[in-house]
Structures are given as C-alpha cells and as structure tokens.
Amino acid sequence: MGIFAKAGLKWLLSSLVFSQAQAFYIPGWSVKSYKDNEQIPLLVNKVYSDNTQLQYAYYDLPFVCPPTGKHSAGGLLSGQSISLNLGEVLRGDRIITSDIDLTVGQDSECNFLCNQEISRKDLKKAKELVKDGYVVEWIVDNLPGATSFVTVDKTKKYYAAGFKLGYVDYTSSKPRYYLNNHHTIVIRWRKAPGRDGDRGGKVVVGFEVYTKSIGDGDKREDGCPADLHNIDEHFELYITPNKTTNFAQQYPDSSYYPEDEEADDDATLSIPYTYSVYWREDDSVEWNRRWDLYFVNQEEGSKIHWLAIVNSLIICGLLTGVVLMILAKTIRTDIKGYKEALAEDGKLRVKRGRKTGLLSPRLEKGTGLGLLDPEGKMEMEDDLSSEDEGLEDVTGWKLLHADVFRKPAYGYILAPLVGSGMQLLFMAIGLVLLSAFGILNPSFRGGFISSGVGLFVFAGLFSGYFSARVYKSFDGQHFGKNSLITAMLFPGLLFGLIFVLNLFVWAQASSTAIPFGTLVAILLLWLCIQVPLVYVGSWYGYVKAGAWEHPTKTSAIPRQIPQQAWYIKSLQAILLSGLIPFAVIFIELLFVFQSMWQDKSGYYYVFGFLAVVVVILVLTIAEVTVVTVYVQLCSENYHWWWQSFMVGGGSAVWIFLYCVWYYFAKLHISGFVSSMLFFTYSFMGCCVYGLLTGTVGFLTAYAFVRRIYG
C-alpha cells in the first residue's frame, strides 16, 4: 500500500504541475508551426456516444488495428501513451500515438494499415457500438478530428467533433451493420504568423476526417482498394454461418443467414483498414480562431442566450422592487415607530404588549404604574386598571428580538454545510472567471476539471473558516470535531458515490472508470491536503476571528410560535421560493445540459453569458431569501436559520426534477449503468448547487436579520 501511495502522490504532483503549465495555453498565444516533410503524430483517444455514458479507449476495441510500436512521429513511438492531467483522466481520455503517417505537405491517396482478425465475440461488440452510434475521437495538433457540415443556407461551414464508427442499414428485413474502415484525413493549414512563416513554417487550422465503408472488392497489391471513388460493396459486420448446418435448409432462398455462435465458434472476420491523407491550404481561418468552427450555430445561440439574460433580469428586477419596498417602506416605518416609542424625551421606556405576558414598569414620573420616592425606592399603585394606557401593542417581527438569534437545532450539521457551501462558491467563481477570460478553453483538454479540483482543495481554508465562525456563533465548544465533520461530510459523500459508480463502470471495461491509482491520488489529495487546510481555516475562524456578535440578547425561555399559514411551512416555502431562481436559469441550463449529456462532441463556450446569469442568480436567491425570511418573522416564527439555507437551495429540487424530465424527453440513454451514471451525476450536481445557493441564502438572511434587529 505504501508503494501505491508513493506512486500515486508522485503522479498527482506531476499531473498538477503539468495541468498548471498547460492552463496558460490560450488560443493565439501558443502557436506551434511545422516544416515541410516533418512528421506530425496522430493521436487516438476514445469512442463515445450520445446514447450512453460509457466511453472506451480506442485501442481497447478488439476490432481496430493495434499499434505496432514501429512508427515514429514528433519524437513519439506508435503505441506510446501521452501524459494526461487529472481532468483528462477523470473525463475518460486515454490518448495514445497511432501508426498513421502524417508528413507535412505530402498527400497520400491510399495507405494500407492492417488486416484485423476478429472473432464472433468481437463482432458482437462492434455491432453494439455501431448500433449505439459511437463516435471516434482522433487528435492532431490538439485539434479533435471533425466531421464537416455546412449550414442550411450554405453560407457557413462548421465542425462536429469526432466521426462515426459505422452505420446501420434498416432498409432490409433485419438491420445490417457496416463498419467505416477507410478514413480520408484532410489537414488544413496556412502560413505561420511572423518570422516563422517567412522561414516556411505552417500551422494547422483544421483537421477533418471523412469515412467510408469499403468491402472486400478488387484490391491492389498493397492492400488498398482498386478504386476509392466508386465503391460497389460496403464492409458489413457479418460472418457467414457454416452452411453444413441445418440453417441452409431453413433459409434456402436467403443470402443472409442468422448467426450460429455455437456452431462456428472458431469463425473469424478479417477487417482491412486503409487511410488517405490530403494537405490543403486554407487562408480563410486564423490560427487563433480555428476552434470557432466547432461551436455550432453561434449567432442563433447568442440570441437565445440574450433572451435568457433578459428573462433573468426581468425576474430579478421584480424581486428587487419587492425587497426595496420591504426595506424602504415597511421595515423602515416599523423600526422608526418602534424606536420612537422606546425613546421619548431622551428617557428610555421599557414596555411590552399583552402578548408578552410581562409587566415592565415605566421609569417616568407621573405615570400610573410606578413612582420613584426621594430615597430611590419604587412604589406600586394598587390600581392597575390603566395598565394598557399609553402602551402600544408590539406585533409581528418586533416581538422576536429575544428569540430571533436563538441557536437552531442540529447547528453542528448546519455549520459544516455552510462551510462546504463557501468552498463550492469559491470554486464556482474561480472556474467561471477563468473560463470567461479564456484561460480555461476547449484547447486545454481536461483543464476545467483539473482547475475545479485544485480550487476546491485550496478553498478548504474558506470552508473551515466560515464553518468555525458559524459553529461558534451557535455556542459550539469543540472546533476540532466541527473541522473534521466539515472536511469529511460533503467530500466523503462525493467520494463514496464516485467509488460505488466506479465498481459498475469497471465491470463494463469502460475508460469512464477512474483508474485505481487515480482514486488513491484523489484520496491522498483529500486527506493529506484538504483536511489540513480545513483544520487551519477552522482554527483561525474559531480562535482568532471568533463568533459573530448578535445585536440582541436571547431570553432563557423560548416563546411559543403561533399557527403558521400554509405557504410559510417549511416544505411549501422551499418549493415555492425555489421556483423563482429556477425560472432565472432554466434557459441557460438547457445549453449546459445539452453540452454535458446530449452533444458530447460539442463544447460549452459561452462562459461570458454564464457569468452574467450567475450574478443575476445570486442576486435573485438573496432577494427571495430576504422576502421569505421577512414573511416568516412577521408570522412570529424565529426558526429561520435552517429555513434560510433550505430556501436558498430550494431551486436544486426543481433542477433535479428538470433532470428527470430531460432524461425521458430529450435523451435516448440505454442500459442500466448509463442510466445510473446519469441520475447519480445529476444528484451530485444538484447537491453541489444546493449547498452553494443555500449558503448564499443563509448569509444573506443573517445579514438581513442583523440589520433589522440592530
């Protein structure tokens, strides 16, 4: 175990350093040029599908040509694995150098790659992947191989990353499966900018792959088809059954026999693989704009994003008006009258209404309740019939000044949740800003996840600090125990879910499964770095900063809470108030879901729009929480601590329901493991969102309550 831990820690540190070095790969800054006759490595990565969540490493497929280890390009031998950062490993990337020869400036009409022999079992696997619509990802000069399309009006070309593994023909009585075994590679280049271009340097601005399915027709001596342009027969994934069996009698007039796995266990199918390479100059695309072609329908998408922002601004503006009305009119008038009643002619009058059940003698001469004699003793009159004379009835939120800061039940759980929420808030702000500034972009493969993990671990300081301050404000006595709960509760939940999911994905031999070494490295990252950071932040927050000072004292006996209206009760308030933030983000959420689940070959790129929507979302959650807490306090209910946190995160419930609807209405996911991955990842994402927004609601509510009772 010590060897695993040492190796895992070494890998972790090296991957983090590598990811930070790669983090500053910004389009337009890191130009790589090539000379004529220079060999460029073609890297193969994985296959993936929009219909399933299981990915597979390309060279793990039994029906593709394995690397020979003899071809060399760019200092890399074929079959050599490329070092990956943490984000790439977690997203299922497995990048290896291929045998395909790409020599700058040299076209090749046809090159023979290999004849791959496969068994019936391998054939069945190939059919399953073709049926599920799997797409292949190859990489040249950090660009994924793309399928080229044109818009409906034929005025603009755009790319869809990846290319089809094969296709299915449903025109016959039974579906027939065809494999794309010839790849036409088109590398688009232009003159390199600056002095490098004057010396003959070229830069890659496009990588297109066109596929064909070519059957066993006329072959040349080198194994290539005799005519690539006129293909009469396509390559079908089919092994002819042994005709000595009774199948020939059962199907005498059919050329398509059913498969008999038991009769022909030793039968094999030979798959010939060939490829073509063409270099084409293209001055229409700048090197720093070459990724724009992968962003489908940008203009139309921008209009929808603007619509989402306008929708969010309208909702947020209405809420802002309601909050301003509460603060500027209702509360201000109440506070002014309350203070004027308590302080008259510079002398303090302590008073309570009938609802409090307490007698408070007024220390003012001439009243009927009590008089001070010359010796300073108080004399009480026998007649108290005029008790209510001159006393104003205090109602609503003003009655709760002795109970509003009473510590909540299970505060030792609420404090760690608030701490974890601050940790996630710091991580989310960092990711959105880095992405909006272009530091995290599609060319930095795995950068978003790597940076997210790094920010989350570092934000353990903020998690411990805020958790400790909230915990001490709840009169907590054991900050060490609180720091341990903070460091283990939410990260432990995530790690446990990921570990259980990994067991199922491992069983599928998918590259989506996290390798054991990476799991050990993540565990070390959590226990050896984040936990100490949380402890340091907790110590500073508990010992140095201390508890938040409440503006009012808490009485020993809690007051009785009257019957609450139906819309103030916990569950109803959470659902109703959570619907408003969900209405702010649901349009932008559609784009995020489409990038994550539906169009895996696409890239989410509009982080500028997302940053604006996030700001509006935070303001909306803050305002919704203020309104909800104020209504609750006006109903003389002082249990607002947990309520503010749950109301702030209430939209997470609607987002999860939206995930369920999206699964059944938009996706075509098949298989138990893929469905389990979808719902578990959705649940984890909603937990992250709920903690983050719940913390925003909690802190906003606390600031609001301090303001009105201060």
Asked whether the beta carbons of 326 and 630 are under 8 A apart, the reply is: yes
308-355 residue pLDDT tens = 788 788 888 888 887 777 767 666 666 666 555 555 544 444 444 433
pLDDT above 60: residue 23: no
Asked whether the beta carbons of 236 and 177 are under 8 A apart, the reply is: yes
pLDDT at 338: 56
Q: Which of 130, 126, 124 is nearest to 259 (CA)?
A: 124
Asked whether the beta carbons of 165 and 138 are under 8 A apart, the reply is: no
Asked whether the beta carbons of 179 and 238 are under 8 A apart, the reply is: no
Q: Alpha carbon of 429 to those of 64, 434, 454, 463, 619: distances in Å?
A: 43, 9, 13, 15, 14
**335 token code pair:** 């506070």
Asked whether the beta carbons of 214 and 182 are under 8 A apart, the reply is: yes
Q: Which of 323, 13, 35, 438 is nearest to 203 (CA)?
A: 35
List CB contacts of 652: < 8 A, sequence separation 6 or more.
578, 686, 687, 689, 690, 693
Residue 627 carries which DSSP code? H
Q: Which residue has the tokens 């879901």?
A: 593
**55 token code pair:** 């990915």
Q: Which of 406, 510, 549 is nearest to 60 (CA)?
A: 510
**Sign of torsion over alpha carbons 448, 649, 404, 478:** negative
**615 token code pair:** 């700001």
pLDDT above 50: residue 433: yes
Between residues 536 and 294, which one has the greater pLDDT? Answer: 536
The whole-angstrom separation of Cα 184 and Cα 231 is: 14
Between helix 479-507 and helix 411-436 the angle, nearest 10°, is: 60
The whole-angstrom separation of Cα 138 and Cα 120 is: 27
Asked whether the beta carbons of 633 and 404 are under 8 A apart, the reply is: yes
Q: How confident is the model at residue 2 (pLDDT cuts 50, 70, 90)?
A: very low
Asked whether the beta carbons of 433 and 11 are under 8 A apart, the reply is: no
Q: Which of 704, 61, 54, 666 is nearest to 323 (CA)?
A: 704
377-405 residue pLDDT tens = 444 333 433 334 333 445 577 888 889 99
Q: Which of 92, 59, 60, 61 is nearest to 78 (CA)?
A: 59
Radius of gyration of the chain (CA): 34
**568 token code pair:** 């103030």
pLDDT at 342: 52
Report the pLDDT averaged over residues 471-499.
94
| Helix, strand, or coil (residue 103) | strand
Arithmetic mean of pLDDT over the chain: 82
The whole-angstrom separation of Cα 699 and Cα 237 is: 61
Q: Which of 238, 204, 276, 273 is nearest to 124 (CA)?
A: 238
pLDDT above 70: residue 435: yes
**502 token code pair:** 């990994």
286-304 residue pLDDT tens = 998 898 888 765 555 677 7
Asked whether the beta carbons of 162 and 144 are under 8 A apart, the reply is: yes
**Furthest CA-CA distance within the chain:** 127
List CB contacts of 432: < 8 A, sequence separation 6 or more.
607, 610, 611, 614
The whole-angstrom separation of Cα 84 and Cα 90 is: 10
Which amino acid is it at 439?
I
The whole-angstrom separation of Cα 485 and Cα 137 is: 42
Q: Which of 208, 209, 210, 126 is nearest to 168 (CA)?
A: 126
Looking at the DSSP assignment, which residues form a beta bridge with residue 635? Answer: none
Least confident of 362-371, 465-474, 698-707: 362-371
240-271 residue pLDDT tens = 776 545 555 555 555 444 554 444 567 889 99
Asked whether the beta carbons of 27 and 438 are under 8 A apart, the reply is: yes
Strand (E) or helix (H) holding 169: strand 166-169
Q: How confident is the model at residue 129 (pLDDT cuts 50, 70, 90)?
A: very high
500-526 residue pLDDT tens = 999 999 999 999 999 999 999 999 999
558-579 residue pLDDT tens = 888 888 887 778 888 899 999 9
Asked whether the beta carbons of 114 and 222 are under 8 A apart, the reply is: no
74-104 residue pLDDT tens = 889 999 999 999 999 999 999 999 999 999 9
Q: Which residue has the tokens 């701490």?
A: 419
Asked whether the beta carbons of 446 and 88 are under 8 A apart, the reply is: yes
Q: Which of 80, 145, 70, 59 is nearest to 101 (CA)?
A: 70
The whole-angstrom separation of Cα 469 and Cα 543 is: 9
Q: Alpha carbon of 269 to those of 67, 120, 241: distances in Å?
A: 19, 8, 12
